[in-house]
Amino acid sequence: DTAVSQTPKYLVTQMGNDKSIKCEQNLGHDTMYWYKQDSKKFLKIMFSYNNKELIINETVPNRFSPKSPDKAHLNLHINSLELGDSAVYFCASSPLGTTRDTQYFGPGTRLTVL
Amino acid sequence: AQKITQTQPGMFVQEKEAVTLDCTYDTSDQSYGLFWYKQPSSGEMIFLIYQGSYDEQNATEGRYSLNFQKARKSANLVISASQLGDSAMYFCAMREYYTGANSKLTFGKGITLSVRP
C-alpha cells in the first residue's frame, strides 16, 4: 500500500500554463506539506495544512495555491508557470505537526517548464 | 545564519566499512527534533532516523545511529557495514516549534555518499 502518493510523477508544460499536482495519504495523518527541491537538491517547505487548515505559507508566490478538500488530500495548483518553477515537488504528511512527528514523503513530481 | 549545515563534499566509503556523515544545527529552541533522510538516485525521500532534543540516548535504527552532541549542536549519522545500496544523497533536517501544533522541517544541503565495492 502506498502511504503518500502523488500524481503525476512527471509534468512537462509550457510557460504560462496552469497545472495541478495531486497528493493523497492513507496514513490517517493530520498534517500535510508541500516542499520544493530545486536543481541543487535544496529542499524548502512551501505550505503546511493541518486538518484542511493552512498553517504555514513560506513566502511562496501567490501563483501557487494549495487546496485541501479533506485531511487525506492536499493538491497544489500553479498558475502562469514560469521557467523558475521547474523543480521536484514533494508532498509529505505527519501525524501531527509537533517536533517529534516524522514526516513521510511522497515520491515527488518532477515539473519541467519549457 | 544557516539552521542546518552539512559541509562535507562527496563522501566515499568502502563496502562493509562504517561512515559518518556530519551535521551541525543552530537553534535557540529547547525543544526540537533532528532527522536524517536518504534520497537515492530514484528520487524518493526515505526517513532513516530521529533524535529528540530531550532524548538522553543516541538514536539507533538498524545499521543507522545518530551521534547526538547537544552542547556542540551536532547530529552526525553513522552508517555501519556500508552496502552498495547506501549510495545516495543524505539530508539532515531539524524540526523546531513553529506555531500551534505545527512546526516546519528545515533541511541541510545534503551529502552525497558513494559506496565502493
Interface test with A, best of B30, B49, B54, B103 (most A CBs within 10 A): B103
Q: CB A97 to CB B101 under 8 A?
A: yes
Residue closest to A81 by CA, chosen among A6, A19, A4 = A19
Which helix (H) or strand (E) is B14 found in, with range?
A: strand B11-14
Q: pLDDT tens digits, residue range A3-18?
A: 999 999 999 999 999 9
- DSSP 8-class letter at B2: -
Q: pLDDT tens digits, residue range B80-90?
A: 999 999 999 99
Residue closest to B92 by CA, chosen among B80, B74, B70 = B74
3-state helix, strand, coil in chain B (%, to 5): 5, 55, 45
Closest residue of chain B to A33, computed from CA coordinates:
B104
Q: Give me the mean pLDDT over the B87-110 stretch.
A: 83
| B88 grid coordinates | 545516495
Q: How far is B30 from chain A (nearest CA, A)?
A: 11
How many other β-carbons are positioned within 10 Å of the β-carbon of residue B80? 13
Per-residue confidence band for A97, with pLDDT thresholds at 50, 70 and 90: low
Which candidate from B39, B104, B107 shows the least CB-CB separation from A56?
Answer: B104
Give dist(CA B97, CA B105) in Å, integer: 10
Residue B32: list chain A partners with CB under 8 A: 99
Q: Is the pLDDT of residue B2 over 90?
A: no
